[in-house]
A and B are shown apart, each in its own frame.
Chain A
Amino acid sequence: MWILEPEIWQAIWLTVELSAIVTLILLIAGTPIAWWLSRTSSTWKAPIAAVVALPLVLPPTVLGFYLLIAMGPEGPVGRVTQILGIGQLPFTFPGLVIASVFYSLPFMVQPLQNAFEAMGRRPLEVAATLRASPLDAFFTVAVPMALPGFLTACVMTFAHTVGEFGVVLMIGGNLAGETRVASVQIYDYVEVMQYPQAHGLAAIMVAFSFIVLLLLQIWRPVTRKGV
């Protein structure tokens, strides 16, 4: 029975682990970017926003190719990681995390930016007149107001990382328990025609994605009301 195969659960657990870590990193790194994009009138706003959105339109092969070259022993990132004693990143779990952070960046930043923009400047100005420091105002006023945006951003980032395939295929090296995530495991099963296993894992992915999108639909009205 396919459900008993340990490699299926290993792949699922690895996928969940990867997606959770990536979501957490992007929550920390993406929030200031989104905040800055929502407030700034700098000439850099448009170019930075465009760079953030790039992974939406680029084929994963482009990202995979550049990351493979950049993180390789001769690449700029690879040289730095080797000097720092981290070693090389392709074929490792940390390498996948870094690739996924780039890949899922817009899915965190864009919903957050929308939520921050919808909030307008007024609430924070009011907070400032009440002598709240900018940081204080951000955490006690902006974050609660943008909470639905945070939820959407986290769910989208998590789900999108789960669905990642092309980049992992290019820099993963198919190591069980290290880089063989669910999407790659399915590809592997299909290649060797183990269709029952492929069906099982694919069905889990379909169910998961449907539930995620369903939850987003349910949350959406809250977003409108709350902002």
Chain B
Amino acid sequence: MKFKAIKKITLVLLLSMVFSVNATELKVAVAANFAQTLKEISTVFEKDTGHKLAITQGSTGKLYAQISQGAPFEVFLSADDETPERLITEGKAISGTRFTYAIGRLALWSPRPDLVDEGGQVLKTDKFRFLAIANARVAPYGRAAVQVMQKLGVLASIEPRVVQGESITQTFQFVSTGNAQLGFVALSQISENGKIKSGSAWIVPENLHEQLRQDAVLLNPGKDSPAASALLNFLKSDKAKKIIASHGYQF
């Protein structure tokens, strides 16, 4: 009796798994900083083309590890330009499909309206207990944050107070909950229509870190997918660029 029930349940579970894998959903891996923007783009994209996106977000390094281990993503929107290039070299992505879909900006941000000053002088003070950055080993925005602190000569004094989010999303969450008083986040996370939504921020000048050139690439599983190439083309369209720019990205 019991075995029969278990068999039935297993069968139902297996069947539901088979049917839930929707063939028309395009699997996109996206760097965490761009996830919110991509969600907005996906609604327009879906309306225009009928293709649905299944979005997976994470740090660029983590997604790279997943892709190189055979994750079935069809399109990869990275937070840097090196990772897509490396995937092409390793034969995991299609050469000739890589392009820059946005250039990101780093911002030092605090939900407190008076903490962060224009110029980031707060970094030289003891006005904070914790500063959050994204894990520099896997997230380009974390790497950029370390470069900024190095350039300003404050890395050694701040290092014991640095907490690392596993992606820029968790970094933002650490700061927005107030557990870290300030942090290096993506400008896209704190801006809306060209304005800082709340708190105080310093948009870090681009000469203080390597440019956050964010590249997209077509991955091997998406080779023959019309939806995948449609998305890559759509990202180059004015419609998409308008949304991207509204989140504080440049081109």
Query: Are A68 and B177 also in contact (CB < 8 A) when A174-B166, A191-B61, A192-B138 are?
Result: yes
Contacts of B65 in A (CB 8 A): 190-193
Residues of B within 8 A of A169 (CB): 166
Q: Is the CB of B163 within 8 A of A188?
A: no
Interface residue tally for chain B (C-beta within 8 Å): 21
Cβ contact within 8 Å between B179 and A90: yes
Given the interface pairs A91-B179, A91-B180, A188-B137, the reply to whether A173 lies near B163 with Cβ below 8 Å is: yes
Cα A169 to Cα B165 with chains together (Å): 9
- Does B132 reach chain A (CB closer than 8 Å)? yes
A174 and B164 contacting across the interface, CB-CB below 8 Å: yes
CA–CA, A192 and B129, complex, Å: 28
Give chain B interface residues in 40-93, CB to chain A under 8 Å.
59, 61-62, 65, 68
B179 x A73 contact (CB < 8 A)? yes
A190 to B61, CA, bound (A): 10
CB neighbours (8 Å) of A90 from chain B are 174, 179
Docked complex Cα distance between A73 and B181 (Å): 9
Bitwise interface map of B from 82 to 106 toward A, beta carbon under 8 Å scored 1, else 0: 0000000000000000000000000
B249 sits at the interface (CB 8 A): no
A55: B residues at CB distance < 8 A: none
Within 8 A of A (CB), among B166-224: 166, 174, 177-180
Give Cα A61 to B75, complex, Å. Answer: 29
Let me know if B110 is at the binding interface, CB within 8 A: no
A interface residue count range (under 10 / 10 to 19 / 20 to 34 / 35 or more): 10 to 19
Nearest 6 CB-CB pairings of A with B: A173-B163, A174-B164, A90-B179, A73-B178, A91-B163, A192-B137
- Pair B138/A191 contact, Cβ less than 8 Å: yes
Is there an interface contact between B130 and A91, defined as CB atoms closer than 8 Å? yes
Can you name 24 A-B residue pairings with CB atoms under 8 Å?
A72-B178, A72-B179, A73-B178, A74-B177, A87-B129, A90-B179, A91-B130, A169-B166, A173-B130, A173-B163, A173-B165, A173-B174, A174-B163, A174-B164, A174-B165, A174-B166, A175-B162, A175-B164, A188-B137, A191-B61, A191-B135, A191-B166, A192-B61, A192-B65
Q: How far is the CA of A220 from the CA of B164 in the complex (A)?
A: 42
Q: Output the nearest chain A residue to B171 by Cβ-Cβ distance.
A: A173
Of residues B59, B68, B130, which shows the largest number of chain A Cβ atoms within 10 Å of its Cβ? B130
Question: Which A residues touch B162, using CB under 8 A?
Answer: 175
Chain B hits for A193, CB < 8 A: 65, 68
How far is A193 from B164 in the complex, measured between Cα atoms in Å?
18
Q: In the assembly, what is the distance between CA of A109 and CA of B86, in Å?
A: 52
A88 at the interface (CB under 8 A from B): yes
Q: Check A147 for interface membership: any CB of B closer than 8 A.
A: no
Closest to A95 in B: B179
Closest CB-CB distance, A128 to chain B, in whole Å? Answer: 47
Across the interface, which residues of B come within 8 angstroms of A80, CB to CB?
A: none
- Give the complex CA separation of A69 and B178 in angstroms: 9
A155-178 residues at the B interface, CB under 8 angstroms: 169, 173-175
Residues of A within 8 A of B163 (CB): 91, 173-175
Which one of A72, A174, A188, A192 contacts B177 once the chains associate, using CB atoms below 8 Å? A72
The reply to whether B164 and A74 form a contact with Cβ atoms under 8 Å apart is no
With both beta carbons as reference points, the residue of chain A lying nearest to B139 in the complex is identified as: A191
A87 to chain B: which residues have CB within 8 Å? 129
